[in-house]
Amino acid sequence: MFLFRIRRHRHPLVAGIVPALLLTACAHVAEPPAASPGVAAGERGFAGGVVSVSHPLAARAGADTLAGGGNAVDAAATIQFVLNVVEPQSSGIGGGGFMMIHLADERRTLIVDSRETAPAAASADMFAGMDFRQASTSGVSVGVPGTLLGIELALERWGSMTLAETLKPAIELARDGFAINRHLAARTADPRAALYPATAARFRGDDGTPLPPGHWLKQPELARTLALVAVGGSAVFYRGEIADAIVAAQRQSLIGDDGRGRMTQADLAGYRPRVRKPVEGHYRGFTIQSMPPPSSGGLTLLMMLRLLERYPIGGDDAGWGFGGRHTLHVMAEAMRLGFADRAAWMGDDDQVPVPVAGLLSDCFLAPRGALIDLGKRMATPDAADPWPCHEHGAMSGDEASLAAQDEAKGTDTTHFTVVDRWGNVVSFTSTIESAWGSGIMVPGYGFLLNNELTDFNLTPRADTASGDPGSNDVAAGKRPRSSMAPTMVFRDGRLVLAYGSPGGSTIINSVLNTTLNLIDHRMDLATAIAAPRFSVTSARGTIRCEAGLPDDAITHLVRLGHEFGQDVDPPRCDADIGSVQAIAIDPESGRQHGGADSRRQGTVIGLP
């Protein structure tokens, strides 16, 4: 993690150090802690805004925007465009995302949904006969991109700067170049970086070898594209020459005609972002808001928290506390239950109704929670039916309402969080899905196309006999189910925390781990983010974990029957899960704090 303090203008002065991991059990939280969650004792914080970003150049651009008088939405737009340049493998204008915005003066939270959509010619069986690798590296996987139009909408409604102003730093970096970090250098060794000629020409050496750390990367085609957008707005992307180039590019395929994309110019011209309300739940006196459908992230997170609330997660009794054997066991079981119900019921509720209120109800979750036994691992749970518990009309997802291969999907997403001097906050998760997306760069325009449609069920699940609605089956104009979970936490109506993570389906569990660390284990932001993570992303329940969790707790999980997907005994915790970027706001003083993840080149910049 990098920590900078900006004085007046834009010069970094002070570097911070990530504290040691907190591996001992902490006192159980029966009531909300008196101190502001996430804030280390004696930490002064900032008043002029904070950015927490996975790359220092993007963080600097966002902080400069705040220092120049921009608000959190302006800074978020600037950061996202710069990330397209410095983390091209993770997100960009060829993809989509979810921008969660808290408007301080209005005490209102909303989400700009720029998730990609399936083209009009898409069908439920369009991936028939393809495995994930085949589907995800051909044009058939490319969804209609939404990021650019979503940012433009957010700037027009809640920003104070023009689209052109927020694009300027990205244009300059793409044109003039930058030294790539070890994270991007390592990703250039990925086969997807060399599947198609235009991609390989930019992200491999002249001899076809991966780029080394420190390589000075210039992207003149991307600079030209962003400059065109700066002059003409999103219209030049969704219509005209760039749209024609996108349609032509997604006709590429490694598996013949069946792999060619189905997108047309009409699909691009017809794309619209959505403005949505967050899903909301409560945990130990805090109100938690997160991403609604078409993401499964917020719902699954809130379900798991409700399942865990009856346990002394933060207690100091034997087996509880951080890394305790009981803590990890109940976390694993709650994750298994959440992912079982996610698989059946969650998708794009603009097309297939999602029983949001039913899934979050005591009526539904009480019998689900009763399946958790401290003495043994439950059998693989099936999805339960939430519809009998559902209250119709509990949530509306559209704008008018506002007055087994999952592990491989979406792991190179990115997340960042911003707060401005007025207390407005943006928590933004965006992606092109897999590392390098589909692997297809739009020739002559320098940006990568997503492979987001592989987030749909590759094999249709709709089955009237079993009652499976096929919530995430492919359909024309439908948004694929996501795991992204930009999240905000409130106490007594005031925002105190905002965070999120990349990581495909592990996003949900990275956000869960962070929430428990901050609320139950009373960690400060840096410690909560650095602490080793624990993840299960299916009903079957194969555990992935990071180094640093206690050996005796892992051995206990094996004794209970938990699976680690390894042939070694005891299993190793050697995964690398997520990259959380977070901010905290002291509700009494209003002082702002940031934490960033060293799993990438996480950077916090604060303004006094």
Among 538, 532, 567, 539, CA closest to 553:
532
Interior/surface letters 130-157, b for 16+ CB within 10 angstroms, e for the rest: bebbbbbbbbbbbbbbbbbbbbbbbbee
Contact 498, 475 (CB under 8 A): no
Phi, psi of 273 (to 5 degrees): -70, 165
Q: How far apart are the first and last CA of the chain?
A: 19
> DSSP for 242-306?
HHHHHHHHTT--SS-GGGS----HHHHHT---EEEPPEEEEETTEEEEE--TTBSHHHHHHHHHH
Q: Which residues contact 44 (CB under 8 A, 6 or more apart)?
A: 591
Is the Cβ–Cβ distance between 433 and 410 less than 8 Å?
A: yes
Q: Which amino acid is at 134?
A: Q
Taking Cα atoms as reference points, which of 120, 431, 116 lies closest to residue 263?
120
Any idea what the Cα angle at residue 582 is, between residues 347 and 217, rounded to 5°? 90
Cβ atoms of residues 322 and 528 within 8 Å = no
Q: Identify whether 264 is a catalytic site residue.
A: no
One-letter identity of residue 256: G
Amino acid symbol at 41 = A
| Cα angle 185, 187, 193; round to 5 | 110
Distance of alpha carbon 391 from alpha carbon 402, whole angstroms: 20
Burial class (CB in 10 A: 0-12, 13-18, 19+), 227: middle
Catalytic residue (one of 300, 327, 413, 515): 413
Question: 449 with 249: CB under 8 angstroms?
Answer: yes
Alpha-carbon distance values, 405 to 64, 459, 565 (Å): 40, 12, 14
Q: Which active-site residues does the annotation give?
A: 413
